[in-house]
Structure 1
Amino acid sequence: MIDFTRISLTLAFAAMSPQLALANIVCAGTYEFFSGKNTVQAIPGEAPENGARAAELYNSRAGWVGQLIPKPQSEGLHEVEVSQCGRQFVLTQGSKTMLFLQSIMDETLYVAQDIGTAEVDLTLRVVDHKIMVGTIAGKSHGFEINYPVAMDPRDVSMPAMRGCAEATVQEEQVDEDRLIIDPALRLEAINIVADQLGVPRDRAETYIYAQRTVAKTESRNDEPIILSPGEGDCPLVFAGIRDCVRYPSDTTTIVETNVLLDEGGRLLPVTTDGSATNRIRVDDPGLADICAPEESLPPASQRLRMTFFAIDEDGINDVQASLVDADTDIATDAHYANGYNAGRQQRVQGADEAYQGVGAPVTGMH
């Protein structure tokens, strides 16, 4: 394990030693830690005598990690133990340990909690669950330091994540900042899409994903709405009361469904990554252990999103279809079908128009 308390002038003459949510599972096991050349700059007025020369010697040192780290230097094998459903991991080498906590702003970023000085930070970003890249940056002993580090997996496996998926679902269900999607309308939308795409209904939720809750928007008005007699569903005569009060609903009647298509337009089975946004991915049996994947299905090329807007009070019963690049989430085509009547039949017609409007891209199923 790297001794982070010894970042000093002498290290300028040699390599300075660096110290899921389910959506972001960090693979546990053995990694090789690399540090690389970047910059060590003497701070004018603060660096020791000949500090500039020391920095120059460090930056000119010779030394995997592909082209990511110029002149990388191995710091040896380290062990990673993951806990708290992927929210933290402990990095160990011999008797030395260091705790990393997941950033509350970015679930792919982990920050070391104690590297021996408050003026130097070590951060690691998780890439594809089992590659970690980062930096050591800050000020130490009269030097500004900033250089890359990386952890290359050697023998890794899935950490124990029992109960984490269930906890995520429970948190979503009780979150006061989320609205429940009308369950009957959600099921109806899934069935309409299944019929449109030729998916047997008993396999609909294998290929079609629709969230059960959705985040409230900042613009949503949570204050009671005052209606005058005869306005909306407020009766003209209401036991002598002039106005009616309508309280905001805890449900929404906007339903979004998503499917994934391979390059040839065939439907792929879907699951979610377990994050708060429930981003969908291919449910590949060969990827049950994402730390040692053996893909058996092709990657997703496009995502077909169909959104049903059933807002009776505004006279809206529309359907929009969008084709989205599976990797970039950039929309490549879209069609909006206006609904002029209420009810399921209008939604069926709207789904057909919207789907045909984006080229009816589905060619079959895996």
Structure 2
Amino acid sequence: MADLQDEPHPVGIGAEDLPVPAGPETKASALDRAAALLSVHPVADGCNTLVWTLRQSPYHDIDTPDTGVDTDIPRLRAGGVGAQFWSLLVPPQGRPGEDEAGDRVVSDTLEQIDAALTLVRRYPDSLRLALSADDMADARNRGRIASFLGPVPGRALAGSLGALRAFHALGVRILAPAGAPWAGETLTAFGHEVVHEANRLAILLDLAGCEPAAARRLAGASKAPVIISNTAAAALNPHPGNVPDEVLLAVREANGLVMVTFDSARTGDSLHAVADHLDHVRAVAGPEGVGLGAAFGAEPPVLRPTGLTDPSGYPRLIAELLDRGWSESDLALLTWGNAQRVIRDAEFTARRRSTP
């Protein structure tokens, strides 16, 4: 049974806050309904790369609207975002010619963690570090944006389970195996140990970027739900970052979560195209297996679907899905419920593994 603090409390978003011009009466009604839903079931966004961006351009103040980045606190609040997974991955092109499998990836990851913790401390009235599903609910109920750290790259473990435990102690709750030598064509013995230890620590495995066969193996090996923090449906667009239906089915079998990105190259260049991908993922992975992982957090120009250029566009997307016939209960799962459920299920698995 969910903890009592899972019960939602309105967080204050209203239709009057939305940066949307007046439209036909039916559309305005959908926007009103979207605002009302998001005030109780805000968005838990599975991917934002702002930490890396701020490390490159530390002069940004995200407490005020800032055209230099696509994410700031006013737009997060206008979009009804109540939880954010802050990606701690480092773009591979950042250090050409260096061996990213060695010490560099470890130090980069530690710097990313430090920058994320600094970000949360800098804006205590808006952000709250979240280590659990209870923290997620409590942050929402206090009007804060629950901030989860991760994923960190699986390569940063450097063959050490101690590194995984150290990342957990620093607050990391998500690990991305893609590119790690232990999660390639085969899941090595060390890879199985990583999965087991991640399950014991309630660290979610993020399969974004994994080859389909590796994603299926990892989903099958994990006793806790897995996630894909930012992707789209390969059946609609065969982009290499999108996942085929066989992976969607594997994630469904693992009671996991597939979070759809807002990347024009992967979804198409319109809000309607993103809604098409959400329709497909829901049809294959199920209503309890679909979520949102926009991958905002970059400096312009980045190609985003029209209407979804920054987090303030979330109400427009919810209004579109309402117009397509999504029920409010399914939308509550999409925005908040599915993300909180996979975190809580991972914690339940960890408690079982820790029981003598």
Same fold (TM over 0.5): no
TM-score by length of 1: 0.23
Higher relative contact order by CA 8 Å / sep ≥ 6: 1 or 2?
2
TM-score by length of 2: 0.23
Higher percent of residues as strand? 1
Larger Rg: 1
Higher percent of residues as helix? 2
